[in-house]
Amino acid sequence: MYGLNKEPALIMHIDLNSAFATTEQQAHPSLRGKPIGVTNRISKECCIIAASYEAKYLGVKVGMRRSEAMAICPKLTLLETDPPKYNAVYQKLIKIMQSYSPKIKMKSIDEGIIDFHGMEKLLNGKTLEDIGYEIKQRVKDEIGDWMRINVGIGTNRFLAKQAAGWHKPDGLDKIDHTNLLDYYKAVKLTDLNGIAERNEARLNAYGIMTPLDFIKADEFKLKKQVFKGITGTYWHQRLRGFEIDDYATNLGMVGRQWVVKDPSSKDSYLLPCLSYLCETTGMKLRFREAEARGICVWLSYQTGEFWQAKRMHKTTYYTNQEVYRRTLELFKQRPSGIVKTIGIYCYQLCPSKRSQISLFEDIEKQDWLTRAVDEINDFYGTFTIYSATSLEGKKIIKQKIPFGGTEYFDLLLKSG
């Protein structure tokens, strides 16, 4: 009666449990079974970016400040992130996933999708649940005996992810038309991936209080009233198990942001940091083989105010020097005040045209210099050579491990 997708569930979502914390426990047997947290850099008020299940049971949450976590769990062991270690786990997980289907997509460093469409004949009569248990065992054998994964199986990416989060840790669940409504009965609106407080309030305002109410709502209501747009139709399809999240995104912007270590208004402190941020942004641009025309700088102040400036240039750019020069023009226009966060991003991107010969010698020289520096840094390690204006900034800004996409992981490892 709800028009559910009755196709076989052929999407598998794999999620490493508390990825960074579990990996650390794998590497350090003495920390297994103990509450541990992982942070980017241990400092007085650092933030927990991953917590072991033992810590989570005691109430430690991801995103908590060190002081809050220590108040809840005084015996909490804190470790700093170790990107190469997580990358090794990530690469091994990819290898395992690729051995089942060529259609895999990593959603982030600790989760990915295996699409079994078209692979049915190669499953040799095994069900996806059998394969799920097999992958769990292979993760233990090939990555480490402490590693645990959640496996979710569904007819679309949304339901597969929901299934993976149903029984944590170490769970394996399948959601299809046979148990979809039972699942929706068992969970809250905010348990649905993509529904947080704001969307919950939006749904509540139209009398949708539970996931069951949500699936009962007709497409017209969701499209025209609740979400006021195509998002409503997407939700209508998604909830019923139809695939609408399988699309490739285009690269829209490249940038970097940084929470200022010691909030300041002084150019002598901020400019070297800005220069360093521009260096890493330039590296990202070239890593993605792109050039940009637009540049944006944004700042948040200690007073809570926000400022941003944007500029679209006629010519494209990709060198660190150009990123810094164009950023600096905007940065100098900022209102006075103590800066708490700096963000820069390049937009209006296009594929790199560096292989084309330029008519202008200056541009050629800049390109040669950039190529030479990149080659040296590639050989001896990132930041073997870098701009003198970034010297102090590099000492202050620490490279962090990305939460979301894994596009820059190789680049991060080079600079690690």
Partner 1 sequence: MDPTIVINERVDVITVFYGNAPERTICIPKRMKYRNQEIEFTMFAMRHPTAKGKRMIHVFDVSDGANDYRLEFDAEGLTWVLVSMIGNQ
Residue 21 contacts partner 1 per CB under 8 A: no
Q: Which stretch binds partner 1 (CB under 8 A): 74-82, 281-289, 333-341, 352-360?
A: 74-82
Contact indicator for 73, 21 with CB cutoff of 8 Å: no
* Residues of this chain, 35-54, that bind partner 1 according to CB under 8 A: 42
What is the closest distance, in whole angstroms, from the C-beta atom of residue 227 to partner 1 in the complex?
44
- Which one of the spans 25-33, 47-55, 96-104, 129-137 is the region binding partner 1 (CB under 8 A)? 25-33
Binding span for partner 1 by CB under 8 A among 21-29, 57-65, 98-106, 348-356: 21-29
Candidates 31, 93, 217, 260; binder of partner 1 (CB under 8 A) is 31
DSSP code per residue over 142-183: HT-TT--EEEEEESSHHHHHHHHTTS-SS-EEEESTTTHHHH
d(CA 189, CA 210): 5
| Dist CA 53 CA 147 (whole Å) | 12
| Gap between the Cα atoms of 3 and 203, Å rounded | 21
Asked if residues 116 and 100 have their Cβ atoms less than 8 Å apart, the reply is yes
Hey, is 244 helix, strand or coil? coil
| 275 interacts with partner 1 by CB under 8 A | no
What distance in Å separates the CA atoms of residue 394 and residue 416, rounded to the nearest whole number? Answer: 13
- Asked if 84 touches partner 1 (CB under 8 A), the answer is yes
Let me know how long the chain is. Answer: 416
Contact between 141 and partner 1 by CB under 8 A: the answer reads yes
Q: What are phi and psi of 14, to 5 degrees?
A: -120, 130
Name the segment binding partner 1 (CB under 8 A); options: 108-116, 120-128, 242-250, 376-384: 376-384
Contact 36, 79 (CB under 8 A): yes
The span of 252-260, 262-270, 323-331, 378-386 binding partner 1 (CB under 8 A) equals: 378-386
Q: Other CB atoms closer than 10 Å to residue 343's CB: what's the count?
A: 16
Q: Which of 65, 85, 168, 221 binds partner 1 (CB under 8 A)?
A: 85
- Taking the least distance from each CB to partner 1, the nearer of 5 and 87 is 87
Contact between 413 and partner 1 per CB under 8 A: yes
Member of 144, 263, 294, 337 binding partner 1 (CB under 8 A)? 144
Residue in 1, 30, 336, 362 binding partner 1, rule: CB under 8 A: 30
Q: Considering the complex, what minimum distance in angstroms separates the CB of residue 139 from partner 1?
A: 11
Distance in Å, CB of 88 to partner 1, minimum: 3
Q: Which residues contact 43 (CB under 8 A, 6 or more apart)?
A: 66
| Residue 142 touching partner 1 (CB under 8 A) | yes
375 binds partner 1 (CB under 8 A): no
Q: Is 77 near partner 1 (CB under 8 A)? A: yes
- Cβ distance to partner 1 smaller for residue 89 or 208: 89
- From 205, 211, 198, select the one nearest 239 (Cα to Cα): 211
Helix and strand totals (H; E) in the chain: 16, 12
Where do we find the tokens 């241990």? 42
184 φ, ψ (degrees, to nearest 5): -65, -30
Q: Which residues, 6+ apart, have CB-to-CB distance to 52 below 8 Å?
A: 18, 21, 22, 24, 25, 31, 34, 35, 36, 37
Nearest distance from residue 212's CB to partner 1, in Å? 44
Looking at 19-27, 128-136, 219-227, 352-360, which segment touches partner 1 (CB under 8 A)? 19-27
Count the residues of the shown chain that bind partner 1, applying the rule CB under 8 A: 29
Applying CB under 8 A, the residues found at the interface with partner 1 are 23, 26-31, 34, 42, 77-80, 84-85, 87-89, 141-144, 379-381, 384, 413-414, 416
